Structure 1
Amino acid sequence: MKRLMTTLSGLALAGAMTTAQAADVVVGGKNFTEQQILATMTSQYLEGLGYDVDSRAGMGSAVLRQAQENGQIDLYWEYTGTSLINYNDISERLDPDETYERVKELDAEKGLAWLAPSAANNTYALAMRADDAEERGIMSLSDLAEAINDGVELGIGLNAEFYARDDGWRPLQEAYEFQVGRRDVNRMDSGLVYQALRDGQVDVGLVFATDGRIPAFDFHVLEDDRDFFPAYALTPVVRQDTLEQFPELEEQMNALSELLDDETMASLNARVDVDRETIERVAESFLEEHGLL
């Protein structure tokens, strides 16, 4: 039986490798909702254009990146800040345009081409309930700092990682010149921050800018008006040799990238995470809506 299982596993692996080799484009994706939506959307879009696509969503970030560098993945959507910090070890603080240009240059040396960045930036952010933010007149992080410095008591919800990070809560307070006492900071799991903010248990919560729960729970994301948070612009990245084989792929993917911004991605994410629609249907309907399928 063990020998039979080993043989079957080997045949399955050989079949997967044959499929990947036969495909025009192998599309990858990470293992969270936004990335699964984008991988599925990209696969559907390219198949509609006549490509033979092998889709491999649900991969870990580092594994996916390595697979692309090794030629096992042709195309996936990456975040500029992730490449800058995690893959290229750049700690220098850069503005969004500088971040994009730097990773484009550095990754070109590794055979990877960054196409046109979308307007979707899935970075850390602080948010408030929209009605509360409007009532208090707190629309930006500078407004938040001013309110705290004026003595307004606000409960803050953060995850433990951000609270302790060298580029997290402490330097954020330094950058915006305010200070919150430890008793006013509630550290909890990321998912619980959204619930606590929605239910009024905290007044300000740490979120990710394109999370679908932001529009679903009617949160207002405070503007980072001093550009503290790194840019994480969502961008299609393709192997240079794949692009040389299919030069039209650049224009095709740029057309899709142009349609994406924070509000759009948050809405798509919410349809999956909040409304429980299938990823396949969400991707398909978006492409149909924009005449890409």
Structure 2
Amino acid sequence: MNRTFVLLLAALVSASSASAKPIVVGGKLDPEAQLLSQLIILSLKNAGLDVTDKASLGDTGVNRKAILAGEIDTYAEYTGNAVYLFPTAKIPATDAGNPTRIYALARQLDSKQGITWLKPANANNTWVVALPEAFASKNKLKSLADLASYLKGGGTFKIAGSPEFFNRPDTMPAFEKAYGFSLKADQKLVLAGATPPQTQQAAAAGTNGVNAAMAYGTDGTLAALKLVALTDPKGAQPVYQPAPIIRTETLKANPQIEGILNKVFATLNQQTLQTLNGQIAVEGRSAADVAQAYLKSKNLIK
């Protein structure tokens, strides 16, 4: 038998085998991550692909290890995480606030790891400081620069957050460095394992004198609890745009996935994610139900 024909046949069999494998979708545990995972799962199933749901796999580190090991094929990641969390993506902090630059660098560097970043949503799920609307209005606090002036003037302030929020260099320490303030121990309520909804509830209720909370920019609980996120005019935080990432091998075997997921994520923006996240975190609806209703409303699935 002709050797070239044999090699071609082997390649076709390999490609057919790869495309026949189920697409394993991972995911993180917070409401938005669950929503994004279900958007991916439902969209791929609608396209007739065989999908395995591992949407509740774990935190960022767990999903990262799983995709590098080939245990999952795709999940939703955030561009900003490439700055600090991934050893394969050493992105200069000066580029972190530029959405185009950070995405391009994350895509370029991860391509060497066999991972392709698809197009991100037009949203920024960055860390923010949230205040009760009444408190912010009374003290004319709209930005972190305003907060710095307020603190230097001796204003009363106590913020609830997780140990990660207070200790990671890209979170509160980045705000303090950029805006020239330093919180004292009694101005922090450190809650081990706290989620943003928990810290925001503490701020809204004034628990233990708390009048501020860690939050994410697309949290659905902000509006529900009448909280406002302070702006970051100096760009101390990196941009955290959600994007599907996928093993390049899987994408080559199923090239239609790129168009499917790019189309879905192109419909997402800040306000849309806040609304959808609120339906999960505040109204108690399942991520799968919220995702399905949204995709149908956009005529993205049947």
SS class of match (1:77): strand
C-alpha distance in 2 between matches for 1:133 and 1:209: 17
Match of 2:204 in 1: 198
Aligned to 1:133: 136
Mapping 1:129-278, distance limit 5 Å: 129-189=132-192, 190-191=194-195, 192-200=198-206, 201-278=209-286
> Is 1:23–1:54's contact at 8 Å kept on the other side of the alignment?
no
Unaligned runs of 5+ in 2: 1-17
Could you say what the CA RMSD is over the residues aligned between the two structures, in angstroms?
Answer: 2.3
User: Could you list the per-position Cα deviations for residues 97-156 of structure 1 after superposition, in whole angstroms to 9, with x for gaps in the alignment?
Assistant: 322122111100111111111123222110111233233321111121122223333333
Which amino acid is 2:38 matched to? T
Distance change (3 Å), C-alpha of 1:134 and 1:290: farther
Tell me if the contact between 1:215 and 1:267 (Cα under 8 Å) persists in the aligned partners: no
Closer/same/farther in 2, CA of residues 30 and 138 from structure 1, 3 Å limit: same
Paired letter, 1:212: G
CA 1:76/1:164 → structure 2, altered by over 3 Å: closer, same or farther?
Answer: closer
Query: Residue 226 of structure 1 aligns to a residue in which SS?
Result: coil
Summarize deviations over 1:17-73 as a string: whole Å, max 9, x none: xxx984453222123322222222211112222222222211123332233223332
Counterpart secondary structure, 1:137: coil
- Structure 2 counterpart SS, 1:37: helix
Superposition deviation, residue 89 in structure 1: 5.8
1:51 counterpart (49, 52, 66): 49
Letter of the aligned partner of 2:188 in structure 1? V
| CA distance, structure 2, for counterparts of residue 156 and residue 69 of structure 1 | 37
Say which is worse superposed, 254-263 or 61-70, in terms of deviation.
61-70
Alignment match, 2:122: 119
Structure 2 Cα separation of the partners of residues 157 and 228 of structure 1: 20
CA distance in 2, matches of 1:104, 1:207: 27
Q: Distance in 1 between matches of 2:20 and 2:74?
A: 15
Deviations 1:156-191 (A, max 9, x none): 333333223344434422210224443333333434
Match of 1:41 in 2: 39
CA–CA separation in structure 2 for the residues paired with 1:111 and 1:282: 32
Q: Is the 8 A contact 2:117 2:245 kept in 1?
A: yes
Question: Counterpart of 1:147 in 2: which secondary structure?
Answer: helix
**Which residue pairs with 1:15 in the alignment?**
none
Q: Percent identity?
A: 30
Secondary structure of the residue aligned to 1:285 is helix
Residues in 2 aligned to 1:108 and 1:193: alpha-carbon distance in whole angstroms: 37
**Which TM-score applies when normalising by structure 2?**
0.81
Q: Is the 8 A contact 1:154 1:184 kept in 2?
A: yes
Structure 2 contact 39–291 (Cα < 8 Å) conserved: yes
1:45–1:292 Cα contact (<8 Å) kept: yes
Confirm or deny that 1:81 pairs with 2:80.
Answer: yes
Q: Does 1:67 align with 2:75?
A: no
Residue aligned with 1:90, SS: coil
TM-score with structure 1 length normalisation? 0.84
SS in 1 for 2:55: strand
Cα separation, partners in 2 of 1:186 and 1:29, compared to 1, 3 Å: closer
Which residue is equivalent to 2:14? none
Instruction: Give the aligned partner of residue 11 of structure 1.
Output: none
